[in-house]
Structures are given as C-alpha cells and as structure tokens.
Amino acid sequence: MPPFIPPLSDPSKTVSSLSSERALVSFPVESLTRFLHGDNLDRLRSIRAEIERIPEVFSNADKPFLSRERSYVRALEKAAKLVEMKKKHKWSEEEMLTAMMQVGDSTPQFLHEALFIPTLKTQLSDEQQKTWLPRAENYEIFGCYAQTELAHGSNLRKLETTATFIPESDEFEIDTPTLNSMKWWPGALAQSSTHCAIYARLILHGKDYGVHPFLLQIRAPGSHAPMPGIELGNLGSKIGFNTIDNGFMRVHKVRIPREEMMMRNSKVTRAGEYVPAKNAKMNYSTMVAIRANIVRNAGYALGQALTIAIRYSMVRVQGGDRLPSQQGQELKIIDHGMQRYRLTTSLALSYAMLMTGQVMHELHRRNLKNVIQGEVGLMAEVHATSTGLKALCSDLCTYYMEDARRSCGGHGYATCGGISDLLNTTLQDVTVEGENTILHLQTSRYLLKTILQALKTKDLSAVPVGLRSALQGGHVFDDERCTIVPGQPITGDALIAAYWHREARVLQEVVTRVLKDGAGEEAFAKSQVQMVELSRTHGEGMLVRNFYEAIAKEEQTAREQGRDIHKGFLPVLRMLCELHGVHRLLEQFGDFTLDGYVSRQQIVWCKERRDQLINLLRYELVGLVDAFDISDNQLNSAIGRYDGRVYESLYEWAKYGMSIMEKGSQGGVLGFDEVLKDVLAEGRRINGAATPKL
C-alpha cells in the first residue's frame, strides 16, 4: 500500500511560490478555520489524526489505479477499521459521521450511518428501538434505505412495492409484484447490507393506506446469502461513487412480523386497525435530512475542488511572457484575469453555500429532535427549504466543480489531479433523493400554496417580509428601485433587497398565472417553467441572505468579545460576500432589470465593482482555501497538495502506477505480446523489413 501521496525526496519542502503567497494573506488562517468549523474543529482534527496514523488502511493514493471490485473491497477495509475505531474511542454518532468525512473516500457504511440508523431513530417506536438500535449501532446488522424503484423515483406516492397485512398470522407480506416495482439504486444494497428500511404500500383488508416504512432482513447471518424469496444484484459501474454497491432487489411475498413495521408515527394494531401519523411527511424525515446535508456538502465539495485549482494556479506558470511588465517571465496562471475571475467568483459561491449549509444543518437538528418527540411544526418548512436548496446547490456545485477542473488544463483531466474523481462522486447529488427539476417544483408548490392561502385569508403574517409588498398590490412594489449607489461599495441591505424584489416579481407573475388558470393542479402543471424559476430565485436569495447574516452574527460576537471587526478575516469575508451577491446578480441581470428595478448605470457599476473585489481578494485566495483545513489525503491530488510540489508528485504518481500495472504474458508491456506484436510483425512483412534483433 502506498503512503498518502507518493513520496518525494524532501516532503517537508514547500515550493517558494506557495510560501510567498501564504506570506501575503492578510488574516490569520486559523481564525477563519475556527469560524468555519466552529467548536468541532479540535475534535475533527483529533479524529483525522487517528485516521492518518494508519496509512496502510486509509491511504487514498491507490484509488486511481483500482478496479471497481477492488475499490469496493478497499472501501470495506476502511469501513471496518472505522467501526473498530468507533468502538475503541467510543465515538458518538456525530463523531462517526465526522470520521467518515475525514477519510476522503466513500464507504458503504455511509448508508448505514447516515440513512439507516437515522431512519430507525425517527421511524421506530421506543420499544422497537430497544431491539434494533443496539444491533445497528454495534454493527451486528448492516442496513440501507430501500425506497426508489425501477420505474418510480421522485413520485413516492406511486411506489408499487406492497406490504399486505395477514391477520391470521399477525404478519405483513412484502412483495414487489411487477418488474417495475423492484427496488433499484439503493446504496449498500447489492452486497453489504443484511437489513433494509423498505418503503412499501400498506394494504389493510384490501384498502391501500399509502407508502410506509418497514424493516426487512435481506441476507442470512453467517452465510450472507440472500434470504428466501429475495433476489439481490449489483447495478454495475456508474459515473462515480463506485466504492458503493448500488443494487436491485426483488421480493417475492416474504413474510415479516407485524412488529417490523416501523411504528413511531403510523401503526397497525393486532386487530388490523390503522392508526395514522400526525403528519404523513414524518415517514420521509430521513430523506429530508439527506437533502439538508447535500446543501451543506455542496459548499464543502466545491471548496475541495477550488483548493486544488487555486493552489495549482499559484504554482503553474504559463503565458504572459510577451507583456512588457513581465520582462520575458511567464505569469502564474492565477494572474491571468480570466483564471482569477472564474476561481474567485466560484470561491465566493462555495462560502455562500457553506454558510447556508450551516443554517440548514441547525434547522435539520431542531426538526429531527422535534420529529423524535412527535412534533411536526417545522416539518413543512424544512421539507420545502431543503428541497429547493438541495436542487439549486447541487446544480451550482457540480457546474462550478467542472469549471474548476477545466481551469487546471490537462492535469485537471487526470484522475490523480483529484477533481475528476471528486466531481464524479458529487454528480450523484443532482439526482439522489429527488431529481432537481422535480424538487424545484415541490418548493414552488409550497411557496404558492402558502401565498394563495394568505391571499384568501388576507393574513400575510406567514409570508416573508420581503415578499409582502408584491402581494399588497398598489404602486409600492412597482415603484421600488434598487439602492445600489454607483461609485460606492455595494451594501448587504441593497443586495438583499434586490434579491427579495426579484423573487417577489417572479412570485407575482406565477401567482397571477396560476390564478388565471384556476389555481388547481392543471394550473400548476401549465406553469412548471415559471415555478422552477421561482424556486431558483428563492434559493439564490437565501444564499445571499444567509451569507450576510452569518457575517453579521460573527461581527456581533466579535464586538461582545472586544475584537476589532475591521481586522482579521471579517473584512475579507465581507468582500467575498459582496462579490457573491454582485456576481450572481450580474449572471442573471435580466431578472433584475426587466421591470426597471436595477438601472443600466447600476449594472455598469456592479461590473466595475466585481472587478475591484476580485483584485482586492487576489492575495487572500490561498488563505481562503487553506482555511477549509482539508488534508492532502482527503484531497488525494497531485496538483493540489499543500506543499505545491506539483510536477514531482505527478511524476511519482505516474511511476507508482507503472509499478503496479499488470505485465504482459512474456513479462513486458501488457498488450504487446498479446496483440501489438503480431500487428507490427505483419507490417514489417508487408514492407519487407527485417525482423528486429531486439
């Protein structure tokens, strides 16, 4: 097993270009790192140190050279060691999730820890949890989340798997009655899991009560063979995430005890009576949690890609030697205007998503606590907010990760560059837990129903303040104008108001359209394009507001502690926040100028101000990515390593690949003796060339 990064002659030496860049950063990087990670930073570093003391298990340097099958086995080795460490160090659930994030690789236990166990906690009754939670937490059983079917994904109401109550034996009969109804896509289903949380239509006395969660054993203890009546298989290679065994499952009339229906929310009594949940959406709390986590992880994943791209851009020199100011010397590629523009604006987006991810994480924690206690007050808000933001953030994240990869040129195309593997893994987020277009429509339906109800009752208290003026009618909304002042820094208030106004205008248009068409399902169906636009504008506004609010909150804390808010990382973060708001406005400026809210002169100033901010942030970039505190093993990149030794690392990585490459049948290059030798010999024969002596 190779070390974390193929060894170099002097691993302690950092290239001078990166050292000089770090010396120019205006703020203490450690202080920003602590702001980003909060109170968990020391524990995170402690856990990561424990992991990186065992390179023979946790090194990722061999990942680019492994087959799909070996990648899965290596991931299991890492998972098994994490389980051992969890028990040894008595890690909490949160600490175990932290540990998995520090590995820098996806392991099948993610589905067990992040989906299966939370499902048990939110869906099993207290009595059921006494039986099943210890078994899951101690890895006596290994679980996954079986919801999606071959022919149905996002439309959960139309899932076809059934769970029919058999009163004579007090059992449920689980069945996937058609080819279309087999479970398809669940991670860790094909080979790893012994049990699954399976979602099926509850059938009582011939009546369909909709989709509910059940606990199903799918493999036998000891042999790990599929249980009778269950067919399991692997879906094969995917774009990414190939360390995870996504699979399919057909269930043929398998009986389970009634007590293995998950009964914290809905219940079926021994007499076969149905006791409904307070809120049907409680059955999907795990799915909502995953969507909230995707928002948080989008900023982190984009931050990883930008760490690689920005460090590489500080080391790589190319072009610019014809500029008189360069005196024949090539420029660092970060000093080419377009490179700096694309990476700095993407970095601002990464931070905006991280700030919003923290808000969503806290909202999810509160909601999860409430759900366990049977309270559903936050459920609708969390569902709608996480749904739209999941769609927006995963789209933006993967788009700009690909742009970061392209910014690294040819070395960005190599797997050992680090970004391609990271991107391919993250690409699942645009589809998993709901395809993004469908999720945007769900968020818009929630917004529209809230607004239509408010219009009906004349009670606007449930409507966000920034949207009320659009609904109150009159000339107030129509006469609103943007408060950006050309020649002056653009304030948070001005940007937040602009995003509110844009959302309110789109909302007003969609409401008018829906009301015109009767405000029913047909009306919603006719307005899907506009509804997706509404959800996106809602999410974009949240990214801007949450970024500014996070800074304002930290500034308040700094004042209370007697710190100068004009020193340290806060001024840099405020510039980055302003850049994000201005850049996203310019990327969609037609939306803001359509009704005259933003003037031509203000757009011209926004463009000039964006250029100013990008230049002001030039020497802060390496500090802003170092603050993410991502280790070299997590990045697993020859071109994004902390010491900047790009070219040596690329060479060592290539040599390592050659050293483990399969040899040909005669001990030479694979493919020569098997194929190429005869092709070349035939060419020589045709041309009458002599047989080579060597």
Token representation of residue 90: 């008595």
Helix axis angle, 492-516 to 528-560, nearest 10°: 150
Token representation of residue 79: 């998972």
Which residues are paired to 295 by β-bridges? Answer: none
CA distance 304 to 347: 10
Specify the pLDDT at position 475: 45
C-alpha 341: how far from its chain's center?
24
SS3 (DSSP) at 172: strand
- Number of residues assigned to the chain: 694
Is 295:357 a contact under the CB 8 Å cutoff?
yes
Termini Cα distance of the chain: 35
CA distance 642 to 636: 11
Q: Please give the residue range of the domain that contains residue 158.
A: 121-276
CA distance 18 to 33: 19
Residue 221 counted as domain residue: yes
Residue 144 counted as domain residue: yes
- Three-state SS across 639-671? CCCCCCCHHHHHHHHHHHHHHHCCECCCCCECC
Tell me the residue type at 67: S
Residue 396 counted as domain residue: no
Intervals of the chain under pLDDT 50: 1-2, 474-475
Q: By C-alpha distance, which of 304, 286, 325 is closest to 143? A: 286
Specify the pLDDT at position 474: 43
Residues 263-315 pLDDT 10s = 998 999 999 999 998 766 666 667 777 888 899 899 999 999 999 999 999 99
Which residues are paired to 163 by β-bridges? Answer: 174, 202
Q: Which residues are catalytic?
A: 433
CATH number for 168: 2.40.110.10
Residue 377 counted as domain residue: no
Number of domains into which the chain is organized: 1
Residue 206 counted as domain residue: yes
Residue 419 counted as domain residue: no
Q: Is 148 annotated as a binding residue?
A: yes
Instruction: Count CB-CB contacts under 10 A for residue 1.
Output: 11
Q: Is 104 annotated as a binding residue?
A: no
Residue 198 counted as domain residue: yes
Is 391:439 a contact under the CB 8 Å cutoff?
yes
Specify the pLDDT at position 465: 67
The structure tokens 């939110």 sit at 122
Helix (H) or strand (E) holding 392: helix 379-407
Is 297:303 a contact under the CB 8 Å cutoff?
no
CA distance 487 to 694: 74
Distances (CA, A) of 117 to 129, 263, 274, 365, 611: 10, 15, 25, 15, 48
Token representation of residue 345: 């604006």
Residues 545-602 pLDDT 10s = 999 999 999 999 999 999 999 999 999 999 999 999 999 999 999 999 999 999 999 9
CA distance 511 to 309: 43
Specify the pLDDT at position 280: 66
Distances (CA, A) of 118 to 7, 155, 645: 41, 22, 42
Q: By C-alpha distance, which of 190, 498, 206, 551 is closest to 359? A: 551
Specify the pLDDT at position 642: 95
Is 312:411 a contact under the CB 8 Å cutoff?
yes
Q: What is the pTM of this model?
A: 0.94
Specify the pLDDT at position 375: 72
Instruction: Count CB-CB contacts under 10 A for residue 135.
Output: 15
Residue 140 counted as domain residue: yes
Instruction: State the virtual CA torsion across 95, 96, 99, 105 in degrees, nearest 10.
Output: -150
Instruction: Count CB-CB contacts under 10 A for residue 76.
Output: 17
